[in-house]
Amino acid sequence: MSTTIPAIGLGTFRLKDQQVIDSVSTGLELGYRHIDTAQIYGNEAEVGQAIAGAKLPRQDLFVTTKIWTDNLAQDKLIPSLKESLSKLQMDQVDLTLIHWPAPSDSIAVGEYMRALKMAKDQGLTRLIGVSNFTMAHLKQAIDVVGAGQIASLQIEIHPFLQNRKLVEYARSQGIHLTAYMPLAYGKVMSDATLQKIAEKHNVSPAQVALAWSLQQGFAIIPSSTRRANLESNLQAATLALSAEDMQAIATLDRGERLANPDFAPQWD
For this structure, is 41 an active site residue? yes
Q: How far apart are CA 164 and CA 75, in angstroms?
A: 35
Helices 17-30 and 44-54 cross at an angle (nearest 10°) of 40
Q: Cβ contacts of residue 22 below 8 Å, gap of 6+?
A: 50, 225
φ, ψ at 177 (rounded to 5°): -120, 140
For the chain, the first-to-last Cα distance in angstroms comes to 35
Single out the catalytic residue among 41, 112, 169, 180: 41
Specify the 3-state DSSP secondary structure of 54.
Answer: helix
Q: Which residues contact 191 (CB under 8 A, 6 or more apart)?
A: 159, 160, 205, 252
| Residue 54 and residue 29 in contact, taking contact as beta carbons nearer than 8 Å | yes
**Radius of gyration, alpha carbons of the chain:** 18
Q: How far apart are CA 152 and CA 171, in angstroms?
A: 10
For the annotated catalytic residues, the residue numbers are 41
